[in-house]
Amino acid sequence: MSDVETGKFDVCIIGTGMAGMASALYAANRGLSTVQVGSAGEIMFASGLLDLLGVHPVEEKRAINRPWEGINELRKDMPNHPYARIKEQDIRAAFDEFLSFLQDASLPYQRRNERNCQVITSLGTLKTTYCVPKTMWNGVDALETKKPCLLVDIRGFKGFSAGQMAAALQDVWPDLRTARISFPETEHMSEVYAEQMARALDSPQNRAKLIEMLKPHVKDVQTVGMPTIFGVSRTHEVVSDLNKGLGVTVFEIPTLPPSVSGVRLKEAFEERIPDKGVRLLPREKVLKVHHGTDGYFTLGIGQETTDRTLKARGIILASGRFLGKGLQADREHIRETIFDLPVTQPPDRTQWHRKNFLDPSGHPINRAGLEIDDSFRPLDSSGRPAFKWLFAAGSILAHQDWMRMKCGSGLALATGFAAVQSFVRLFR
């Protein structure tokens, strides 16, 4: 059996984005001795909204209201999409298990099981998603019923204008009013940051001050929308105090990344995942990997140079795309950075991107990635699994465009779940 002291594990998860975090959770919950390595940070860029499937087909810009039905259509239209290899019950189970972990980590989420929901964004657009932090839920509700709503922005907080949202959304949500406040105790500061405000609101005294600031503005409205700042670790208390103190419901609006939603996910994971028995090595990279005759992968881990060596029976590669550095591109080719696995990609750079940035059909490069078998094992150039015990999950997989299809978190969770399941099946 594997053993933490000798650095020998059942499975090593490479990557600390959404897919890596979810895979680590699923592996740990199944009793696997798990080590997770990643240079951290990526999950900070998560919007915090858990998309399942929001648009399909992207060319038609068709918004999906019933995501499970949408996924069934997708299975037929895009048989290579990673979703097409996963049973619906498994995708559902992946969400249930992940959400229950977040609930336990004091980061409750909310959804309608069968339908997508819509939130307003800080830009004044509508975003279709599946599952949102509970702190945003009142906004979903209020948008649907077009409740009279006050949008509040904050002096010194850039890129978030209540006036912009009210103006841009005037046709879909006519009764939006606006107010600007100074965040408590920041009167002397020019610029204020979301994370700083969120941490301040973890303390009850600051919440009380914020309520006093907001009160004079809350007239004839049923709900109040603010940027995502309702605490980092005590979001539930913040929302409940604000609801009580103002006598109306409050909700958060997603903001520019890196946002507080990303910070919350990162902290929840980094605190709770070790409790599950996962050996988490954030801020480190896999620099070398070798598959030995003993049937184990030997991984050289470190920042610039190898600081330690680990052994793992299997690997789940959830190293992401270009931002996560799982993929890397030069002028000619896209390559996978750790195993140099073959990457399905357009023939040359002229076909990576379309002429217009906002072309609804999406850029072909975004569908580049790893080919896999039904067990989520990446394939080598001959079309066979590259290694018996190497699995891949998340955005590094080919034949999906999570940014256009709005399926990023669903993809991360479902493929992480499927990869871990396959590993367990093989392992036992």
Partner 1 sequence: MKTSVLIIGGGATGTGLARDLALRGVQSILVEKGDLNAGASGANHGLLHSGGRYVASDPETAKECREEGEILKQVASNCIENTGGLFVAVAGDDEKYVADFPVLCSRCGIPAHELDPKEALELEPTLSRQVITAYAVEDAFIDPFKLSMENMDQALSLGGSLLCHTKVVGFECSNRRIQSVHLKNTRTGETIIVEAEQVVNATGAWAGEVAALAGISIDLLYSKGSLLITDSRIATRVVNRLRPSSDADILVPGGTVSLLGTTSIRIESLDDIRPTIAEMDHIIDQAAEVIPVLKDTRYIRAYSGVRPLVASQSAGDDRSVSRSFALLDHARDGLENFATITGGKLSTYRYMAEKTADLVCARMGVSKPCVTRTEPLPSSETSRWTEPGLAPKEWIKRGAPEDLILCECEMVPKSVIDRIVTSIRDQGDRADLRGIGLRSRIGKGTCQGAFCGIRITAHLYDKGDLQADEGLVGLRTFLNERWKGVRPILWDGSLIQEELQEAMHCGLFGLEL
Q: Which stretch binds partner 1 (CB under 8 A): 80-88, 203-211, 268-276, 345-353?
A: 345-353
One residue of 11, 36, 406, 421 binding partner 1 per CB under 8 A? 406
**What's the min distance (Å) between Cβ of 358 and partner 1?**
4
**What's the min distance (Å) between Cβ of 106 and partner 1?**
24
Using CB under 8 A as the binding rule, whether residue 121 contacts partner 1 is answered as: yes
Using CB under 8 A as the binding rule, whether residue 41 contacts partner 1 is answered as: no
> Angle formed by the axes of helices 88-104 and 67-77, to 10°?
140
CA distances 249 to 110, 227, 235, Å, are: 16, 14, 14
Three-state SS across the chain?
CCECCCCEEEEEEECCCHHHHHHHHHHHHCCCCEEEEECCCHHHHCCCCECCCCECCHHHCCECCCHHHHHHHHHHHCCCCHHHHCCHHHHHHHHHHHHHHHHHCCCCEEECCCCCEEEECCCCCEEEECEEEHHHHHHHHHHHHCCCEEEEEECCCCCCCHHHHHHHCCCCCCCEEEEEECCCCCCCCCCCCHHHHHHHHCCHHHHHHHHHHHHHHCCCCCEEEEECCCCCCCHHHHHHHHHHHHCCEEEEECCCCCCHHHHHHHHHHHHHCHHHCCEEEECCEEEEEEECCCCCEEEEEECCCEEEEEEEEEEEECCCCCCCCCEEECCCCEEECCCCCCCECCCCHHHCCCCCCCCCCCCHHHHCEECECCCCCEECCCCCECCCCEEECHHHECCCCHHHHCCHHHHHHHHHHHHHHHHHHHHC
Using CB under 8 A as the binding rule, whether residue 328 contacts partner 1 is answered as: yes
Using CB under 8 A as the binding rule, whether residue 18 contacts partner 1 is answered as: no
One residue of 93, 126, 424, 426 binding partner 1 per CB under 8 A? 126
Using CB under 8 A as the binding rule, whether residue 113 contacts partner 1 is answered as: no
* Contacts (CB under 8 A) with partner 1, residues 349-378: 349-350, 352-353, 355-360, 362-363, 366
Q: Which stretch binds partner 1 (CB under 8 A): 65-73, 162-170, 229-237, 382-390?
A: 162-170
**How many residues touch partner 1 (CB under 8 A)?**
56
Using CB under 8 A as the binding rule, whether residue 428 contacts partner 1 is answered as: no
* Contacts (CB under 8 A) with partner 1, residues 220-279: 254, 256-257
CA distances 412 to 69, 216, 341, 358, 416, Å, are: 19, 43, 20, 24, 6
Using CB under 8 A as the binding rule, whether residue 330 contacts partner 1 is answered as: yes
One residue of 160, 269, 389, 423 binding partner 1 per CB under 8 A? 160
Using CB under 8 A as the binding rule, whether residue 172 contacts partner 1 is answered as: no
Q: Which stretch binds partner 1 (CB under 8 A): 11-19, 126-134, 234-242, 245-253?
A: 126-134
Using CB under 8 A as the binding rule, whether residue 191 contacts partner 1 is answered as: yes
Using CB under 8 A as the binding rule, whether residue 403 contacts partner 1 is answered as: yes
One residue of 103, 170, 203, 303 binding partner 1 per CB under 8 A? 170
Q: Which stretch binds partner 1 (CB under 8 A): 21-29, 218-226, 311-319, 320-328?
A: 320-328
Q: Which stretch binds partner 1 (CB under 8 A): 1-9, 101-109, 277-285, 323-331?
A: 323-331
Q: Which stretch binds partner 1 (CB under 8 A): 106-114, 152-160, 272-280, 372-380?
A: 152-160
Which C-beta is closer to partner 1: that of 28 or that of 150?
150
Residues making contact with partner 1 (CB under 8 A): 45, 47, 49, 55, 61, 63, 121-128, 156, 158-161, 163-164, 167-168, 170, 189-191, 254, 256-257, 321-323, 325, 328-331, 349-350, 352-353, 355-360, 362-363, 366, 402-404, 406, 408
